[in-house]
Amino acid sequence: MNVSEITTRPFEGQKPGTSGLRKKVDVFRQPHYLEDFVQAWFDTLEGYRGTTLVLGGDGRHYNRQAAQTILKMAAANGVGRVLVGQGALLSTPAASCVIRKHRAFGGFILSASHNPGGPDGDFGIKYNITNGGPAPEKYTEAAYQRTLGIDRYRTLDVPDVDLDTLGESRLGDMVVEIIDPVSDYVDLMAELFDFAALEKLVQSGVRVCFDAMHAITGPYARAILEDRLGAPAGSVINGVPLEDFGGGHPDPNLKHAHELVEIMYSDGAPALGAASDGDGDRNMILGDRFFVTPSDSLAVLAANATLIPGYRDGLAGVARSMPTSGAVDRVAKDMGLPCFETPTGWKFFGNLMDAGRATFCGEESFGTSSDHVREKDGLWAVLAWLNVLAARPGQSVADIVRAHWKRFGRNYYSRHDYEGLDTGAAEDLMDHLRATVPGLEGMSLEGYKVATGDDFAYTDPVDGSESVGQGVRVMFEDGSRIVYRLSGTGTEGATLRVYIERFEPNPARHGIETQEALADLIGIARGLAEIEARTGRADPTVIT
């Protein structure tokens, strides 16, 4: 085996964020840059030699080249076998599924999720561990520390692998197996959901529109919605994965999934509209002229879980990220379920799921999933909603959500994103809040009395690990909240996310437009953080 040891030097800024390392494509194209980061993982992981790894990504620009680099490095570092999605493609939830089903040691997922693609866009890579979930902080920190002093990496000087032909080949002493990227995932969905009932629903005339946004989920959605359930051809739109996502921004929200929004807010709209993101782990749910917030989606699915075959025996518990609204908390209390509040990042749910303490988990950033994998799963959420519609005949998406509000109350909720901020200004803003917010207790802000304020910290109830500095919270006595945090998923400047929430128990007041219902709190949030003065931005870039 022709192993080469290449001399290199450390690069600055290779610290993984919320979901791995994300940078511009040009950054990853630098000689030795990707190699340094991958070697840091091989240098710090223990026990991987001779085992099986999984490899695939969302198909964005540089995906295939990166896959070739990683395969040669894996062989040079003693990996026994790599399962690669055909064309180097695997959605993030499918990669988790494959790792778990085939009992792999772990895997590399190539994606920058909902970030733009193309030659001038973003690229990303993260490592998932044996349970199929993102590597916890002790792993990412070890790899990062290694990047600070790395001086060489190992690779094979061999031709590229054929990534498009199913079957096995050898790369040095390592077996490379090109697998169907869709089949294992579809089989898992068939175990969880009543495909016969869903097919009957679709055949009865209940229409679905799924916008894959020219990202990875297109083949998965077509295989299930059109091929297995019999939805008419064209029910999946923008279904061909493209390296630049067709020039679009693969983030399934009301701004970027504009084609779907136009369809769902037009006459004769389908019963269920949905979109997924670049790597298939996020989702947006729409009914006829009705948007379901991610927080409400998690709460509604938890309340209706026993209607879904895979969860008929009930849930062990639920979990949500701290910025996500408290809507699911009210469901958990009513159902007598444990409810956990974690930092943002799906890796924090893994321990809870592995310990059998949480079944459904969700993040406000359009992520909902269950313990069937250890990642967010956009298509799973769509099928869960379709299953609920099948189990509640004659009720629309809006009917189901409004009935939920009537029973549990409505959590008016919105996220305001300020993107591309000067990083120094954004960090100064957060420092200002950390210094100011703890002293607000007992004060009245525009008629809202502050109960407490802090910078959220989390102690994992399973392994006792601690995470601090996870977001500044202002909590009011009436249950309203304002949360501030800097996103860990961007590649240019800083993104400030501001979350605003108000609970309304009175059904007579559930029909107010969200931004109107939150207007006072929005004003408080902007003034308290001095957003315009500190960043120069009068208005957010995106409101969801």
Band of residue 458 on the pLDDT scale cut at 50, 70, 90: very high
- The residue-averaged pLDDT of 138-142 equals 95
Considering the candidates 113, 276, 365, 370, report the single residue annotated as catalytic.
Answer: 113
Band of residue 19 on the pLDDT scale cut at 50, 70, 90: confident
CATH number of 3-181: 3.40.120.10
Domains 3-181 and 185-408 share a fold: yes
> CATH assignment of 185-408, given 3.20.20.60, 3.40.50.2000, 1.10.3720.10, 3.40.120.10?
3.40.120.10
Buried b (16+ CB within 10 A) or exposed e, 29-61: beebbbbbbbbbbbbbbeebeebbbbbbbbbbb
Q: Among residues of the chain, what percentage have pLDDT more than 70?
A: 99
- Residue pair 305/360 in contact (Cβ under 8 Å)? The answer is yes
Using the predicted structure, report yes or no on whether residue 414 has a pLDDT greater than 80.
Answer: yes
**pLDDT for residue 58:** 97
**pLDDT for residue 490:** 55
The residue extents of the domains of the chain are 3-181, 185-408, 410-543
Q: What is the pLDDT of residues 196-238, one digit of tens each?
A: 999 999 999 999 999 999 999 999 999 999 999 999 999 999 9
Using CA atoms, how far apart are residues 426 and 435, in angstroms rounded to an integer?
Answer: 14
Q: What is the pTM of this model?
A: 0.93
**pLDDT for residue 364:** 87
Band of residue 357 on the pLDDT scale cut at 50, 70, 90: very high
- The residue-averaged pLDDT of 89-118 equals 96
Using the predicted structure, report yes or no on whether residue 2 has a pLDDT greater than 90.
Answer: no
Q: What is the DSSP string of 328-355?
A: HHHHHHHHT--EEEE-SSTHHHHHHHHT
Cα end-to-end distance, the chain, whole Å = 53
Q: What is the pLDDT of residues 229-276, one digit of tens each?
A: 999 999 999 999 999 999 999 999 988 999 999 999 999 999 999 999
**Helix axis angle, 397-408 to 327-335, nearest 10°:** 70
Using CA atoms, how far apart are residues 472 and 459, in angstroms rounded to an integer?
Answer: 16
CATH superfamily of 410-543: Alpha-D-phosphohexomutase, C-terminal domain (3.30.310.50)
Q: Where are the beta strands (DSSP E) in 113-161?
A: 122-128, 152-156
Task: Tell me which residue has tokens 């919270």.
Answer: 473
CB count in 10 Å sphere of residue 392: 14
* 3-state secondary structure at position 302: helix
**pLDDT for residue 488:** 62
- Residue pair 283/272 in contact (Cβ under 8 Å)? The answer is no
- The residue-averaged pLDDT of 324-345 equals 96
Q: How many helices (H) and strands (E) does the chain have?
A: 18, 27
**pLDDT for residue 365:** 84
- The region, left, alpha or beta by phi > 0 then psi within -120 to 50, assigned to residue 536 is left
- Residue pair 473/343 in contact (Cβ under 8 Å)? The answer is no
**pLDDT for residue 18:** 76
- The residue-averaged pLDDT of 336-340 equals 98
Listed in sequence order, the DSSP H helices in 326-471 are: 327-335, 347-354, 378-391, 397-408, 423-436
- The residue-averaged pLDDT of 163-188 equals 98
Using the predicted structure, report yes or no on whether residue 4 has a pLDDT greater than 80.
Answer: yes
Using CA atoms, how far apart are residues 293 and 325, in angstroms rounded to an integer?
Answer: 10
Q: What is the pLDDT of residues 466-520, one digit of tens each?
A: 999 999 999 999 999 999 999 865 557 899 999 999 999 999 999 999 999 999 9
**pLDDT for residue 17:** 84
Active site residue 113: yes
Using the predicted structure, report yes or no on whether residue 176 has a pLDDT greater than 70.
Answer: yes
**pLDDT for residue 33:** 98
